[in-house]
Structure 1
Amino acid sequence: MHCPPLAVAVAADLAVSALNPSQDSWDQAPAATALETLLLKELARLVGYDAELAAGVLTSGGTESNLMGLMLARDRVLGAVTGRPVELEGLPGTGPGAFPRPRILASASAHFSVQRAAALLGLGEDAVLAVPVDRQLRMKTDALAAALTDCADRGELPIAVVATAGTTDTGAVDPLRACASLAAEHGAWLHVDAAYGGGALLSDRLAPLLDGLALADSVSLDWHKLGWQPAAAGVFLVRRSETYASLARRAVYLNPADDEEAGYPSLLGLSLRTTRRADAFKIAVTLRTLGRAGLGRLVDACHDLAVAGARTVRNHPRLELHAEPVLTAFLFRYLPADATNADPTDVDAINASLRRRLLREGRAVVGRTELPGEGPGRVRLKLTLLNPHTTPAQVDRLLHTVVAAGLAEEAQ
Structure 2
Amino acid sequence: MGLGEKSVIKIKTDRSFRMNTILLEDAIKREIAQGNIPIAIVGTAGTTDFGNIDPLKELASISLKYNTWFHIDAAYGCGLLLTDKYRGLLNGIELAHSVTVDYHKSFFQPVSSSGFLVCDKNFFNLITHHADYLNPKDHDEDGLPNQVNKSIQTTRRFDALKLWFTLRMMGRNKLGGYFDTIIETAAKIAGLLHSDSDFELMNESDISALVFRYRPKNLRLDVCAMNQYIKKAMFNQGKALVAGTKINQQFYLKFTLLNPLTTISDIENIIKIIKKHGNEYVRLNQASADFRRN
Q: Normalized against structure 1, the TM-score is what?
A: 0.66
Offset at residue 261 of structure 1 (A) = 4.0
Residue 209 of structure 1 deviates from its aligned partner by 0.8
| 1:273 Cα offset (Å) | 1.4
Instruction: Compute the displacement of 1:270 (Å).
Output: 4.7
Alignment of 1:225-264 (within 5 A): 225-264=105-144
| Match of residue 244 from structure 2 | 368
Q: TM-score, normalised by structure 2?
A: 0.91
Aligned partners of 2:144 and 2:156: how far apart in 1? 18
Structure 2 residue 277 is the aligned partner of structure 1 residue 405? yes
Counterpart of 1:290 (choices 164, 170, 174) is 170
Per-residue deviation, residues 60-119 of structure 1 (Å, max 9, x unmatched): xxxxxxxxxxx4xxxxxxxxxxxxxxxxxxxxxxxxxxxxxxxxxxxxxxxxxxxxxxxx
Deviation at 1:181, TM superposition (A): 1.1
Q: What residue is the counterpart of 1:307 in the other structure?
A: 187
Distance in 2 (alpha carbons) for counterparts of 1:382 and 1:201: 24
Choose which of 15, 37, 50 in structure 2 pairs with 1:170. Answer: 50
Question: Of residues 355, 359, 364 in structure 1, which corresponds to 2:231?
Answer: 355
Aligned equivalents of 2:262 and 2:193: distance in 1? 17
Q: Deviations over 1:8-56 (max 9, x none)?
A: xxxxxxxxxxxxxxxxxxxxxxxxxxxxxxxxxxxxxxxxxxxxxxxxx
What does 1:193-208 align with in structure 2 at a 5 Å threshold? 193-208=73-88
Q: 1:334–1:351: 8 Å Cα contact kept in structure 2?
A: yes
Q: Which moved more, 1:247-256 or 1:219-228?
A: 247-256
Q: Residue 320 of structure 1 is aligned with which of 187, 197, 200?
A: 200
Question: Does 2:158 correspond to 1:158?
Answer: no
1:242: how far off?
Answer: 2.1
Partner secondary structure for residue 246 of structure 1: helix
Separation (CA, whole Å) in 1 of partners of 2:227 and 2:85: 33
Q: State how far apart, in whole Å, the 2-side matches of 1:260 and 1:286 are.
A: 32
Aligned residue for 1:302, secondary structure, equals helix
- Higher RCO, 1 or 2 (CA under 8 Å, sep at least 6)? 1
The residue type equivalent to 1:352 in the other structure is: Q
**1:254 Cα deviation after fit:** 4.1
Task: Provide the rounded CA distance (Å) in 2 between the counterparts of 1:252 and 1:294.
Answer: 46
Residue 73 of structure 2 aligns to a residue in which SS?
strand
2:40 is paired with a residue of what secondary structure?
Answer: strand
Residue identity in the other structure for 1:195: A
Q: Which piece of structure 1 moves more, 378-387 or 165-174?
A: 378-387
- Per the TM alignment, residue 250 of structure 1 is displaced from its structure 2 partner at its CA by 2.5
State the partner residue of 2:12: 132
Q: Are the equivalent residues in 2 in contact too, given 1:244–1:270 (CA < 8 A)?
A: no
1:257 deviates by 4.0
Structure 1 residue identity aligned to 2:5: E
Structure 1 residue ranges without an equivalent (≥5): 1-70, 72-120
Query: Is 1:390 the equivalent of 2:262?
Result: yes
Residue 297 of structure 1 aligns with an amino acid whose one-letter code is G
CA contact (8 A) 2:197 2:217 kept: no
The alpha-carbon deviation at position 236 of structure 1 amounts to 0.3
CA deviations over 1:275-303 (Å, ceiling 9, x no partner): 12111111111111111111101111111
Q: Where does residue 253 of structure 2 map in the other structure?
A: 381
Look up the equivalent residue of 2:244 and give its one-letter code. R
Q: By how many angstroms is 1:189 displaced?
A: 0.8
The one-letter amino acid of 1:363's match is K
Q: Which amino acid aligns with 2:268?
A: D
Identical columns (%): 38
| Structure 2 unaligned blocks of 5 or more | 285-294
Q: Aligned residue for 1:106?
A: none
Contact 1:219–1:237 (Cα < 8 Å) also in 2: yes
The one-letter code of the counterpart of 2:223 is V
Give the match for residue 68 of structure 2.
188
Larger deviation, residues 354-363 vs 217-226: 354-363
Question: Is the partner of 1:130 in helix, strand or coil?
Answer: coil
CA distance in 2 between counterparts of 1:245 and 1:275 reads 19
State the one-letter code of the partner of 2:103. Answer: W
Secondary structure (helix, strand or coil) at the match of 2:9 reads strand
Contact in 1 for aligned 2:139/2:146 (Cα 8 Å): no
Change (3 A) 1:127 1:284: same
Q: Partners of 1:259 and 1:270 in 2: how far apart?
A: 14
SS at 1:129's partner residue? coil
For the residues of structure 1 that align with 2:147 and 2:59, how far apart are their CA atoms? 31
Contact 2:199/2:214 (CA < 8 Å) preserved in 1? yes
1:37-76 equivalences under 5 Å are 71=1
TM-superposed CA distance for 1:203, in Å, is 1.1
Shift of the alpha carbon at 1:267?
A: 3.8
CA displacement, residues 336-382 of structure 1 (integer Å, 9 cap, x when unaligned) = 3414xx46xx11111111111111111221011112x3x5xx22110
